[in-house]
């Protein structure tokens, strides 16, 4: 892509990863106009864990019913270089456990790893177990600015009494918790907006981020965001050709976003590197939403891609 004229990002489609950086720069992000993307939903994991995650996706036909060829199955240094080439200014490297006695050491690994990567935001994870407040408290003391809760992979009930004090700690600290609690890409024992609503009713100030915008329960997710002002939606995989194939957005999606009360309610997430398509496709989907309703436009792009996630992560 040739350099994009400032003010023309809205009408400049992206067609490749090479388009991403010039397109992002044309938006004049940040206070000085030189900022980059802030991606709140990225995954970096210990090698042994990552290999198991990739093996799961390699067998996606059996696990999900359709193929999921990971587009960026590359060594860690190459993945970091790619994010930098996409003009990513900061990202949240999210980790998550699938069983007890895993969250504490994953959190420790994530905090240690982020300390070595300038763009990485310190992150933590949780699981319903007796020690959760201990390691979460330690993580917050070490500067964790975002937490990941994966209800579907973890197979746990977010209403579990063991988690109640952890939700309370996060609500009190104002630390966002990116929560995969929707029924997509496959239903879990405790997924669904109805279940997470009960958590929010107990902790209405909890800064919960609905990963994947609650996919496929977009309407319910939007209603939840209207009901609870601290709730946000992340864009992870939403509106891409891949997810439109099994969880299409409602026809009035852009209008609903324009009508969502409060500023900064939608934040950029991508699921890099574990996506079955190129990074640019997420940005192109968001650009499409911004063009579909005159109330959105470039201010919406600047908010979603930088300002809202930067504020959420206290950057």
| Per-residue pLDDT tens digits for 170-196 | 999 999 999 999 999 999 999 999 999
- pLDDT of 16 over the 80 cut: yes
Average pLDDT in the chain = 97
- Flag whether 84 is in a domain: yes
| Mean pLDDT within 283-299 | 98
Q: Is 237 left (phi over 0), alpha (psi -120 to 50) or beta?
A: left
How many domains in the chain?
Answer: 1
**How far apart (Å, rounded) are the C-alpha atoms in residues 95 and 284?**
26
**CATH number, position 288:** 3.20.20.140
- Residue 256 binned pLDDT confidence (cut-offs 50, 70, 90): very high
Segments forming the whole domain that contains residue 299: 17-312
Residue range 256-272: average pLDDT? 96
Give a yes or no: residue 43 inside a domain: yes
Higher pLDDT, 261 or 260: 260
12 falls within a domain = no
| pLDDT over 90 percentage in the chain | 94
- Which residues are CB-contacts of 16 (< 8 A; sequence separation ≥ 6)? 1, 278, 280
- pLDDT band of 263, cuts 50, 70, 90: confident
Confidence of residue 2 (pLDDT cuts 50, 70, 90): low
Query: For 183-230, how does the pLDDT look when each residue is reduced to its tens digit (9 = 90+)?
Result: 999 999 999 999 999 999 999 999 999 999 999 999 999 999 999 999
The answer to whether residue 100 is domain-embedded is: yes
DSSP string, 139-207: HHHTT--EEEEEHHHHT--TT-TTTHHHHHHHHHHT--EEEE-SS-SS--TT-SHHHHHHHHHH-TT--
What average pLDDT score do residues 257-277 get? 97
Instruction: Quote the CA–CA distance of 144 and 231 in Å, as a whole number.
Output: 19
Does residue 98 sit within a domain? yes
What is the spatial distance between Cα 155 and Cα 195, in angstroms, rounded to a whole number? 13
Residue 281 banded pLDDT, cuts 50, 70, 90 = very high
Output the pLDDT for position 103.
98
Which residue has 């005159």 as its token pair?
A: 294
How far apart CA 144 and CA 126 sit, in angstroms, is 12
Residue 4 located in a structural domain? no
Give the C-alpha distances (Å, rounded to integers) separating 51 from 147, 210, 251, 304, 313. 22, 26, 38, 31, 28
Question: In what helix (H) or strand (E) does residue 84 lie, and over which residues does it extend?
Answer: helix 76-85
Task: Say if strands 37-42 and 88-93 run parallel, antiparallel, or are unpaired.
Answer: parallel
Token output for 289:
């939403």
Alpha-carbon torsion 61, 65, 70, 71, what sign?
positive
Answer whether residue 68 is part of any domain: yes
Angle (nearest 5°) at CA 304 between 251 and 219: 35
Does residue 273 belong to any structural domain of this protein? yes
Q: Please name the residues in contact with 169: beta carbons below 8 A apart, sequence gap of 6 or more.
A: 133, 136, 137, 140
Residue 1's pLDDT is what? 67
pTM: 0.97
The pLDDT tens digits for 24-80 are 999 999 989 999 999 999 999 999 999 999 999 999 899 999 999 999 999 999 999
């Amino acid at each position: 892509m040739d350099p994009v004229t400032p003010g023309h990002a809205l009408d400049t489609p992206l067609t490749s990863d090479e388009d991403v950086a010039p397109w992002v720069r044309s938006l004049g992000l940040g206070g000085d106009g030189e900022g980059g993307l802030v991606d709140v939903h990225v995954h970096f994991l210990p090698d042994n864990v990552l290999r198991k995650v990739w093996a799961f996706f390699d067998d996606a036909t059996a696990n999900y019913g359709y193929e999921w060829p990971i587009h960026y199955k590359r060594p860690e240094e190459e993945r970091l270089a790619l994010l930098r080439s996409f003009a990513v200014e900061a990202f949240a490297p999210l980790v998550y456990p699938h069983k007890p006695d895993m969250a504490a050491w994953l959190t420790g690994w994530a905090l240690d790893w982020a300390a070595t990567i300038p763009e990485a935001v310190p992150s933590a994870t949780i699981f319903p177990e007796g020690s959760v407040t201990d390691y979460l408290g330690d993580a917050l003391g070490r500067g964790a600015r975002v937490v990941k809760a994966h209800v579907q992979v973890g197979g746990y009930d977010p209403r579990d009494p063991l988690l109640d004090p952890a939700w309370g700690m996060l609500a009190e600290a104002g630390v966002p918790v990116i929560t995969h609690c929707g029924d997509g890409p496959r239903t879990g024992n405790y997924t669904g907006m109805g279940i997470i609503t009960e958590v929010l009713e107990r902790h209405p100030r909890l800064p919960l981020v609905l990963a994947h915008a609650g996919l496929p329960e977009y309407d319910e997710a939007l209603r939840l965001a209207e009901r609870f002002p601290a709730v946000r939606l992340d864009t992870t995989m939403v509106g891409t050709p891949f997810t439109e194939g099994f969880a299409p957005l409602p026809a009035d999606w852009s209008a609903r976003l324009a009508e969502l009360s409060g500023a900064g309610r939608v934040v950029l997430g991508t699921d890099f590197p574990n996506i079955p398509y190129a990074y640019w496709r997420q940005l192109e989907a968001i650009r499409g939403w911004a063009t579909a309703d005159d109330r959105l436009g470039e201010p919406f792009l600047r908010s979603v891609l930088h300002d809202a996630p930067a504020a959420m992560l206290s950057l």
